[in-house]
Amino acid sequence: MADNEKVAIVTGAARGIGLEIARELLGMGMTVVAVDLREDLLAKLPAATNAPADKLDTRTLDVTDSAGFTALVDEVAEKHGRLDVLVNNAGITRDGLLLRMEDADWELVLKVNLTSAFLGTRAAARHMIRQRSGSIINLSSYSGLEGNRGQANYASSKAGLLGLTKTTAKELARKGVRCNAVAPGFIQTEMTDVLPQQAKDMALAQIPLKRFGQPADVAKAVAFLASDASNYITGQCISVDGGMHT
Ligand code: NAD
């Protein structure tokens, strides 16, 4: 399937990195189904992406809703007759030091960041296996590769995504379905805007390229993994972090 005929689902697409991924895939001619909790932001997406009406679909959904996520994936595959790309991008933080971390903050982050990717992958894989092609991309993080103070829940969820990525790649390769991850470092979005200046200064000091990343930097790596240009790549994690993880 040529890239411009592909159908993609992007979760957490209402803002930040997910919005930029939607933009990038639309720019390649793909049909994009943008999924997010935030109905108010999704409503602005047609204007924000300048997408032709028949190329962009928006759906309000909590990706931790197992039945809802599965039904959405099935509906998209049925409506468009195929499903080529799933980007599991929706994610949250609930930072706190390990000894003070509440059970609820551990569980919520694992559920939103990791369990949702499992739910989406399982649902999408059924369609991709049938068509014997597809690309699943999980948004991991530098924190998942290296750990990070104050992020036991987040780092564990992002490390878990790497296990899910590699296992999915191994199980589905023989069916023509690929699965890869992207691990951003410090990217300027609303997720990181809320951090105290001191934390930002400390992060910047650790980045060899000496600047924060932009959502487009991550979106371009995701677009590569979604495209036929990466057809021989599966089970990998591409770091987009200014050189932090080597
Ligand atoms: P963001 O907070 O700006 O955007 C996340 C989007 O996900 C929001 O639109 C939000 O409404 C949506 N979302 C949250 N929970 C959801 C749910 N249960 N169901 C549906 N949608 C939900 O974050 P971002 O910075 O754009 O990050 C995007 C992804 O990249 C996340 O997985 C994040 O962990 C990862 N990441 C970000 C950075 C960074 O520096 N910004 C670094 C590494 C990894």
Q: For each of the chain's 246 residues, which pLDDT tens digit applies?
A: 899 999 999 999 999 999 999 999 999 999 999 999 999 999 999 999 999 999 999 999 999 999 999 999 999 999 999 999 999 999 999 999 999 999 999 999 999 999 999 999 999 999 999 999 999 999 999 999 999 999 999 999 999 999 999 999 999 999 999 999 999 999 999 999 999 999 999 999 999 999 999 999 999 999 999 999 999 999 999 999 999 999
| Dist. CA 207 → ligand 1 center (Å) | 21
Question: Which residue from 236, 237, 241, 218 is spatially nearest to 21, judged by alpha carbons?
Answer: 218
Best probe residue, ligand 1, of 35, 37, 86 (max atoms within 8 Å of C-beta):
37
Q: 215-226 vs 16-27: helix axis angle to the nearest 10?
A: 50
Q: C-alpha angle 27/144/111, rounded to 5°?
A: 80
> Would you say the CB of residue 192 lies under 6 angstroms from ligand 1?
yes
Determine the pLDDT at residue 1. 86
> Would you say the CB of residue 146 lies under 6 angstroms from ligand 1?
no
Determine the pLDDT at residue 89. 98
Q: What is the CA radius of gyration of the chain?
A: 17
